[in-house]
Amino acid sequence: MICRRCLVSGRVQGVWYRGSTQRQAQRLGVTGHARNLADGRVEVLACGAPAAVDALCDWLWQGPVHAEVSDVRCTQVDTPAPAAFTTG
C-alpha cells in the first residue's frame, strides 16, 4: 500500500475533474480524495496498491473531456489510507 499526493494544474476546476477522478479511483480500487484548491489546482490523494496508484496518477494527465491539464506533480506521502475516495 502506498499513498501519493498530486497537485494538478490547468483547467481542472468547473469541468467535473474531481468527480471523474473519484470514478476512476473507484474502478482502480484506490482510496483518497480530490479537492479544489484556492489557487485553481486540484489536490488528489491516492492510496492503494502501487500499480493502481500509478494508473490513477497517469490518468490525472487526461482527466475528463473538458479538462486541460498542464501539469501533474506527485509526491509519496506517509499518511493513513482513507477507507474510500471522496471529493470535497
The angle that helices 50-59 and 17-28 make with each other, rounded to 10 degrees, is: 150
> Which amino acid belongs to residue 83?
A
4, 27, 36, 41: which is the annotated catalytic residue? 36
Reply yes or no on whether 36 is catalytic.
Answer: yes
18, 27, 35, 73: which is the annotated catalytic residue? 18
Residues belonging to the active site:
18, 36
